[in-house]
Structure 1
Amino acid sequence: MDNTKRQPRKQGWRFVLLAVALAVAISGLVRSLWIDVYFIPSESMEPLLGPGDRILVSRTDFSVNPVHRGDVVVFDGRGTFAPLNSGKGPLADTAQAVGHWLGITGSDTTYVKRVIGIPGDHVECCGADGKLTVNGQGLEEPYLYPGDRPSDQNFNVVVPQGRLWLMGDHRSRSADSRGLLGAPGGGMVPIERVIGRPIQIVWPLDRFAEVPRPAPAGTTTTNGQ
């Protein structure tokens, strides 16, 4: 058998495998430090983000610009929005983690919501005009899903230091801080659980668009102080 032909072939496969491994490593580094990809599985953030959208998320945005009211954030909901253990078993959890990493499935523990209250805010539903109030002031919400009311559930909360009150834009289809008032943390997410800010819809192509950041409204925070 002619080994001179097999040797270049083996070296070619080694080069391909090395290139793939290097590409995966670089991608993992970029996604863990700067930009990640997330799949939107639900209707809770319509009309801004819809089911099936793939979004780019900046992991560094809030290290430069503080979190403020009106921001849309991607966050780890474990211990607040999600149970600490999905209970699906290691194989199912691994398969979901791979799909989530590839940006083709959602996650049981990662969520996208809008910041309504920051530390120290008094958030209430609702005022005489039917609007949410923040620190006694009616909140203008042009991002709400058409036909939705600000909330069908009454609540009256003061956001603790280091936490955020989060709600979806499609209020009638969103499970958010309102439904977790009796849960650990009172439905309010620690600021350190924020992963980043959506900056671009990349798929489907007919929805390719920048996700704008709203102008700051009132007090801002990066560390819960």
Structure 2
Amino acid sequence: MGGTPPATPPAAKKQRSFWKELPILIGIALVLALLIKTFLVQAFSIPSASMQNTLTINDRVLVDKLTPWFGSEPERGEIVVFHDPDDWLAGEPTPDPNALQTVLSWIGLMPSADEKDLIKRVIGVGGDTVECKGTGPVKVNGKALNEQEYIYPGNTPCSVDDQGGQFKVKVPEGSIWVMGDHRQNSRDSRYNQSDRHGGMVPVKEVVGRAIVIAWPMNRWDTLPVPATFDQDGLQAQSSAAAALSVAPQGLALAGVVPVVWWRRRRVAPAETR
């Protein structure tokens, strides 16, 4: 009857090949991994035996970098990664990474060779008095710590030597006193008392708290605060970010999944109309 012909439906938009989208997705994953490394969690490799047997050489730990952004400070008993405060690593060999290691460190899967970082256990925080006499125990504010849960088997809590093993120090506000779990094989606060910080680590140099051993798989474990730090006024607050136990690449891929779903969902309806 001479009516207006129906409008021609729009042509279905051809879905882009998965292989063409793959470089975009990889790019998104790398950007997310970089953001996660910078602000949330980063992987670090253990280079020495100073934290045995809690951590062994070549363990990979995940470090919570989020809570310091909200003003959280290290607590007694936590294992923390921190920047070298005053040439503690002087004389240590500097690794020479290859091209692949450089890329992996950039996206947070490996630590940067340029960063001089250490990992130790927090024994005292600002305002604490920490002391060692004889072979121990270590005392914090006059209270003895029971460290057999984590110090290296056969070690004594305190070292009997005149180079720093015997001490009594007051930790200033804004600093922490750190010691390795392998007491007789750790160059920590005890042996750096002649530096400009008196062996203390400024809180501003702390990268974050190690929360989990992520690799190798047979070493996977969380890194809680030992029970001895929960006694009589020494209570250590657990990190709210303990749930961040996923490697940066895992979080990045998880972030990509919604993007893939959204992009493909936008195309699918055009094909079914």
TM-score by length of 1: 0.77
Change (3 A) 1:148 1:87: closer
The match for 1:158 is: 170
The match for 1:185 is: 197
Q: Which amino acid aligns with 1:26?
A: L
The answer to whether structure 1 residue 132 and structure 2 residue 138 are counterparts is: yes
Q: Secondary structure at the match of 2:198?
A: helix
Contact 1:123 1:134 in 2 (8 A): yes
Q: Which amino acid aligns with 1:139?
A: L
**Higher radius of gyration, 1 or 2:** 2
- CA RMSD in angstroms, aligned pairs only: 3.3
Q: Which amino acid aligns with 1:111?
A: L
CA shift, 1:189, in A, is 0.6
| Superposition map of 1:1-225 within 5 A | 15-62=21-68, 63=70, 66-79=73-86, 81-82=88-89, 92=96, 100=105, 101-103=108-110, 109-126=116-133, 130-141=136-147, 142-152=149-159, 153-214=165-226, 217=230, 218=233
The match for 2:247 is: none
Q: Which amino acid aligns with 1:196?
A: G
**Separation of aligned partners in 1, 2:236 and 2:150:** 22
Contact 1:97 1:107 in 2 (8 A): no
**Separation of aligned partners in 2, 1:166 and 1:213:** 14
Change (3 A) 1:200 1:107: farther
Contact 1:40 1:106 in 2 (8 A): no
Aligned-pair identity in percent equals: 37
Contact 1:81 1:109 in 2 (8 A): no
CA shift, 1:137, in A, is 2.1
Runs (5+) with no aligned partner, structure 1: 1-10
CA shift, 1:22, in A, is 2.0
TM-score by length of 2: 0.65
Q: Secondary structure at the match of 2:197?
A: helix
**Separation of aligned partners in 2, 1:203 and 1:132:** 31
Q: Which amino acid aligns with 1:124?
A: E
CA shift, 1:213, in A, is 3.0
Runs (5+) with no aligned partner, structure 2: 1-16, 160-164, 238-273
**Separation of aligned partners in 1, 2:184 and 2:93:** 27
Change (3 A) 1:99 1:15: closer
Q: Secondary structure at the match of 1:186?
A: coil
The C-alpha deviation readout for 1:114-136, integer Å capped at 9, x for no partner, is: 11111111111116x72112222
Instruction: Give the number of equivalent residue pairs.
Output: 208
